[in-house]
A = this chain, B = another copy of it.
């Protein structure tokens, strides 16, 4: 009955099993083990591209380290004002980039808008008084639970290229976006102009497994030192690699993400037509943002359903997040309770 976050979910049994299987004998530490090498190859197959990849434990680490490979200390990184890197990482990007500036834009649907970006970039100057444009960061899916179409990503990458910027994708919910688009991992990344992807598995069934995937391999040169320096190089790396091994096997990522997405659609369908209910964002991944009458929310909360009021505790807009573990019966129960109270 917990719709607060996909972080409240546990770990897929397949992932736990892989960790257990990895626990045999000794292995070279710090990513020099066979399993890590295997995963690096699997990423290449998954993305149909020669990538350079690095495993790290958290999404914040992945994003901040990746951005530090794209932006100098005097650089600017363009992102949506609601982006996780701007709002929810306590300044990790500024820390890892030694003080680069996040320039926030206000695009609709929680997404960067290429027109607004172009306007902003056209007003920048190379004079030494100003931070220099360095990178664009988008989240796929976005914090609003919306999805960039392939055309939108491509357009943003065109703006990036024209202005000499790199394109970063925060893929904490990458699998959810893939499922929605029905695109291939290649389509949604390097074929659309993405230079580096933070590929998240934690929110979708792993324990703590993220990967920084460089399609632009030149950018990866000093990443190993920075990962170590940030304290993110695991000695017993095989257990991180094992999580990825399970995640990419038998399309676990797809199975988990499509379930979560389906649950979100079920919530949407069941709630959007209730009296006084109104969707706040389109439901395109595993998040539902919807306003409902305060009395209904109170009933739901009293019934034990857990979710966030969006913006603040008094807001009638709530966020419901589904995960690979969300049970259909809980979704149905939520809808029934809301309907009864409406």
A30, B98: Cβ atoms closer than 8 Å: no
Cα–Cα, bound, A30→B4 (Å) = 13
A73, B5: Cβ atoms closer than 8 Å: no
Interface size class of A (residues with CB under 8 A): 35 or more
The interface residues of chain A, by DSSP majority, are classed as loop
Q: Confirm or deny: A253 has a beta carbon within 8 angstroms of a beta carbon on chain B.
A: no
CB distance from A11 to the nearest CB of B (A): 5
Q: Confirm or deny: A213 has a beta carbon within 8 angstroms of a beta carbon on chain B.
A: no
Kindly name the residue among A132, A227, A232, A235 whose own CB sees the greatest number of chain B CB atoms within 10 A.
Answer: A235
CB distance from A28 to the nearest CB of B (A): 7
- Please tell me which one of the listed residues B5, B123, B325 contacts residue A29 in the complex, with CB atoms under 8 A apart: B5
CB distance from A313 to the nearest CB of B (A): 10
B16, A232: Cβ atoms closer than 8 Å: no
A325 to chain B: which residues have CB within 8 Å? 26
Map CB proximity to B onto A208-226 as digits: 1 under 8 Å, 0 otherwise: 1000000000000010111
A7 to chain B: which residues have CB within 8 Å? 29-30, 235-236
Q: How many copies does the complex hold?
A: 4
Map CB proximity to B onto A23-64 as digits: 1 under 8 Å, 0 otherwise: 111111110000000000000000000000000111111101
Q: Confirm or deny: A316 has a beta carbon within 8 angstroms of a beta carbon on chain B.
A: no
B23, A8: Cβ atoms closer than 8 Å: no
CB distance from A37 to the nearest CB of B (A): 16
Cα–Cα, bound, A95→B228 (Å) = 11
Q: Which residues of A contact B (CB under 8 A)?
A: 2, 4-5, 7-11, 13, 16, 19-20, 22-30, 56-62, 64-65, 72-74, 87-92, 94-102, 123, 128-132, 202-203, 207-208, 222, 224-236, 239-240, 311-312, 325
